[in-house]
Amino acid sequence: NRKPAYIEIACNLSAAPCAAPGPISAVIDEEPSDRASLTAAVAAAAEFVRARRKLSMVIGSKLRAAEAEKEAIQLAEALGCAVTVMAAAKSFFPEDHPQFAGIYWGEISAPGAREIVDWSDGLICVGTLFNDYSTVGWTAMPSAPDVLAADPNRVYLEGQDFSRINLRDFLSALARAVERRDATMLEYRRIRRETPPETPVAPGAKLTRAEAMRQISGLVTANTTVLAETGDSWFNGVALKLPRGARFEVEMQWGHIGWSVPATFGYAMGAPDRRVIALIGDGSFQLTAQEVAQMIRNHLPIIIFLMNNRGYTIEIEIHDGPYNNVKNWDYAGLMQVFNAEDGHGRGLRANTGGELSKAIETALANQDGPTLIECTIDRDDCTSDLLSWGRQVARANGRPPRPQ
């Protein structure tokens, strides 16, 4: 039961004879649903729905990998219930859909989202993944008896477990088998609070996180993909309102930092027709900054918003200490280093709202390479959600171990 930490493979193995590979379909084709298992799962799920009046759906990060986004919408519309989305699954359910009830993330949920999940007498969790980050330090775990969990190859509810089931098949079949359950949607409309629009600050005023995000939100179109690095960028990105077609990428399973710089490069290479925007903190950026040179080499018009507050803000809120300080770089000036004699990257620094506005105009005009906009903000200028999340995760991290 031990996993290896290091695997050695002899360098001459690559030239050794081996069996001819089989068809690629053997690797990439998915196994069809077991018909008996699918039928039984749909029957049990339909009974679960019939027994409840206040159902809601929670969409999780495994939905897209199962290629079941369309079928999730079909089930939601058949039920007519409120649909919340976990932070790591943002953009997997259309935010302009009339049944969208916001991001469910425990005590830092969108207004009304947690209330409607807590008010429900049953949850249909589709592709969800509950860990310490997604549950805000294990404070937002749904109660098991009232949960129907549908995963890419498995459905389980009320002590019953059904396997070898394609998620698309299950959601589509269940949508045809259920009656309308719209009580949570009616309640959500009653309690929903509209978020007032952000008020622009004076162009000469010192740049704040809120003003930066207000301006960044204006860039997001249906053809935009936003990548949000681990840290306060999570919470800034999750708060963005996405038009239908916009995509959002985040890594919330392991809490790695620095992943978003190479991921942004790879995404832009794979989707050259999309506008790619990255939200990155200074500490994370320092781990993988060299990948910006590859963006320049490939003439990718990526826009990087680098929030420079000279520290690992998320770690400061979980467990502060001198090790959370970061040596400052000339991030905007770094682009000239990467450009050398032939690059077209642009590096800009914004200390005020007016400077940020002009920097964004420059970034939009630069189609020959990436633009990095260094946004200088105060060290303690972070979202209130990060403060709440950090407090709960720190509490969970500090628990004594439980004997097994």
**58-89 pLDDT per residue, tens:** 999 999 999 999 999 999 999 999 999 999 99
Task: Please tell me the distance from the alpha carbon of residue 61 to that of residue 167, in angstroms, as a whole number.
Answer: 13
The residues of the chain scoring below 70 in pLDDT are 1-4, 144, 404
Which tokens in the block code for residue 141?
Answer: 């775990």
Task: Please tell me the distance from the alpha carbon of residue 136 to that of residue 94, in angstroms, as a whole number.
Answer: 24
* The pLDDT value given to residue 9: 84
Q: Which residues contact 123 (CB under 8 A, 6 or more apart)?
A: 55, 56, 57, 58, 117, 142, 146, 147, 148
Listed by start position, the domains of the chain span 34-191, 209-396
* The pLDDT value given to residue 166: 97
From the list 219, 240, 246, the residue with the least C-alpha distance to 371 is 219
Can 34-191 and 209-396 be said to share one CATH topology? yes
* Domain at 209-396: CATH code: 3.40.50.970
From the list 153, 99, 96, 162, the residue with the least C-alpha distance to 127 is 153
* The pLDDT value given to residue 196: 82
* Domain at 34-191: CATH code: 3.40.50.1220
